[in-house]
Amino acid sequence: MAPTIKQIAKLANVSIATVSRALSGDEKVTSETKQLVLNAASELNYRPNILARNFVKGKSNIVGLILPDISDEFFSEIIRGVDETSYDHGYYTMVISSHKNRSLVESVHTLMSNGLVGGFIILIPFMDQKIEAALMHEGVPFVIISGDNNAGEFDTVTTNNYQSAFKMVEFLVNKGYKKIAHISGPADNNDALLRKKGFLDACSKHKIEIKNNWLLDGNFTMESGELAINKILNEDDKPEVIFAANDMMALGCYNAIQSRGLKIPDDIAITGFDDILISKYANPSLTTVKVNTDRIGKLAAERLIEKMDGTNNKTAQKIEIESELVIRNSC
Amino acid sequence: MAPTIKQIAKLANVSIATVSRALSGDEKVTSETKQLVLNAASELNYRPNILARNFVKGKSNIVGLILPDISDEFFSEIIRGVDETSYDHGYYTMVISSHKNRSLVESVHTLMSNGLVGGFIILIPFMDQKIEAALMHEGVPFVIISGDNNAGEFDTVTTNNYQSAFKMVEFLVNKGYKKIAHISGPADNNDALLRKKGFLDACSKHKIEIKNNWLLDGNFTMESGELAINKILNEDDKPEVIFAANDMMALGCYNAIQSRGLKIPDDIAITGFDDILISKYANPSLTTVKVNTDRIGKLAAERLIEKMDGTNNKTAQKIEIESELVIRNSC
DNA sequence: ATGAAAGCGCTAACAA
DNA sequence: TTGTTAGCGCTTTCAT
Q: Are A289 and A273 in contact (CB under 8 A)?
A: yes
Peptide bond into B68 cis (omega under 30): no
Whether pLDDT at B248 is above 70? yes
CA A251/CA A282 separation, integer angstroms? 8
- Asked if A94 CB < 7 A from strand D, the reply is no
CB–CB of A222 and B116 under 8 A? Answer: no
Angle of the B16-23 helix axis to the B5-12 helix axis, nearest 10: 100
Mean pLDDT of A250-266: 93
Mean pLDDT of A164-172: 98
- Asked if A70 CB < 7 A from strand D, the reply is no
The amino acid present at A121, given as its one-letter code, is: I
The predicted structure's pLDDT at residue A76: 86
The contacts of residue A170 (CB under 8 Å, 6+ apart) are A202, A206
What nucleotide is nearest A21 when CA is compared to C1'?
Answer: D11
The contacts of residue B188 (CB under 8 Å, 6+ apart) are B125, B126
Distance B16 CA to C13 C1' (A): 15
CA A128/CA A190 separation, integer angstroms? 11
CB–CB of A95 and B94 under 8 A? Answer: yes
- Neighboring chain A residues of B277 at a CB cutoff of 8 Å: 72, 222, 248
Task: Please state the separation of Cα A27 from the chain's center in Å.
Answer: 40
The predicted structure's pLDDT at residue B74: 84
B21 pLDDT band, cuts 50/70/90, is: very high
How many CB atoms lie under 10 A from the CB of residue B317? 16
- Asked if A230 CB < 7 A from strand C, the reply is no
pLDDT single digits (tens) B295-328: 999 999 999 999 999 887 778 999 999 999 999 9
Distance A26 CA to D13 C1' (A): 15
pLDDT single digits (tens) A197-208: 999 999 999 999
Mutation site, B98, B114, B294, interface A, largest A CB count within 10 A? B114
The amino acid present at A27, given as its one-letter code, is: E
The amino acid present at B233, given as its one-letter code, is: L
The amino acid present at B301, given as its one-letter code, is: A
Whether pLDDT at A318 is above 80? yes
The predicted structure's pLDDT at residue B101: 78
Mean pLDDT of A26-54: 93
3-state secondary structure chain B: CCCCHHHHHHHHCCCHHHHHHHHCCCCCCCHHHHHHHHHHHHHHCCCCCHHHHHHHHCCCCEEEEEECCCCCHHHHHHHHHHHHHHHHCCCEEEEEECECCECHHHHHHHHHHCCCCCEEEEEECCCCHHHHHHHHCCCCCEEEEECCCCCCCCCEEEECHHHHHHHHHHHHHHCCCCCEEEEECCCCCHHHHHHHHHHHHHHHHCCCCCCHHHEEECCCCHHHHHHHHHHHHCCCCCCCEEEECCHHHHHHHHHHHHHCCCCCCCCCEEECCECCHHHHHCCCCCEEEECCHHHHHHHHHHHHHHHHHCCCCCCCCEEEECCEEECCCCC
CB–CB of A2 and B76 under 8 A? Answer: no
Mean pLDDT of A157-182: 97
CB–CB of B116 and A84 under 8 A? Answer: no
CB–CB of B99 and A77 under 8 A? Answer: no
- Asked if B277 CB < 7 A from strand C, the reply is no
Q: Specify the pairing of strand B92-97 against strand A92-97.
A: antiparallel
Mean pLDDT of A17-26: 93
pTM across the whole model: 0.92
Whether pLDDT at B99 is above 90? no
Ramachandran assignment for B313, one of left (phi > 0), alpha (psi -120 to 50 degrees), beta (any other): alpha
B151 pLDDT band, cuts 50/70/90, is: low
What is the residue-averaged pLDDT of chain A?
A: 93
Whether pLDDT at A27 is above 70? yes
Phi, psi of A54 (to 5 degrees): -60, -40
What is the residue-averaged pLDDT of chain B?
A: 93
Q: What percent of chain B has pLDDT over 90?
A: 80
pLDDT single digits (tens) A97-135: 887 778 899 999 999 999 999 999 999 988 889 999 999
Q: Are B221 and B274 in contact (CB under 8 A)?
A: no
Query: Which of B277, B290, B232 minimizes the C-alpha distance to B251?
Result: B277
Cα radius of gyration (chain B):
26
A71 pLDDT band, cuts 50/70/90, is: low
Residue of A nearest to B294 (CA): A71
Whether pLDDT at B76 is above 80? yes
- Asked if A262 CB < 7 A from strand D, the reply is no
Q: Are A81 and A296 in contact (CB under 8 A)?
A: yes
Q: A68-77, B39-48, B189-198, B205-214: which range is least confident on average? A: A68-77
Protein residue closest via CA to C1' of C8:
A56
Whether pLDDT at A42 is above 90? yes
The contacts of residue A129 (CB under 8 Å, 6+ apart) are none
pLDDT single digits (tens) B253-304: 998 998 899 999 999 999 999 999 889 888 889 999 999 999 999 999 999 9
CA B98/CA B126 separation, integer angstroms? 14
Whether pLDDT at B36 is above 90? yes
**Higher confidence at residue A310 or residue B49?**
B49
Domains of chain B: 5-48 (1.10.260.40), 59-159+293-320 (3.40.50.2300), 161-290 (3.40.50.2300)
The predicted structure's pLDDT at residue A151: 65
CA B40/CA B12 separation, integer angstroms? 6
CA A173/CA A262 separation, integer angstroms? 22
The contacts of residue A122 (CB under 8 Å, 6+ apart) are A65, A66, A104, A107, A108, A135, A142, A143, A144, A145
Whether pLDDT at B71 is above 70? no
The predicted structure's pLDDT at residue B308: 93
CA A321/CA A69 separation, integer angstroms? 23
CB–CB of B94 and A97 under 8 A? Answer: no
Mean pLDDT of A248-266: 93
Q: What percent of chain A has pLDDT over 90?
A: 80
Mutation site, B23, B45, B50, B285, interface A, largest A CB count within 10 A? B50
Mutation site, A56, A59, A71, interface B, largest B CB count within 10 A? A71
pLDDT single digits (tens) A294-306: 999 999 999 999 9
CA B27/CA B239 separation, integer angstroms? 71
At A241, which helix (H) or strand (E)?
strand A241-244
pLDDT single digits (tens) B199-234: 999 999 999 999 999 999 999 999 999 999 999 998
- Asked if A30 CB < 7 A from strand C, the reply is yes
DSSP letters spanning A109-156: HHHHHSSS-SEEEEEESS--HHHHHHHHSS-S-EEEEES-TTSTT--E
Nucleotides of C under 7 A from a protein CB: 1-5, 7-13
CA distance A55 to chain B (A): 6
Mean pLDDT of B35-62: 94
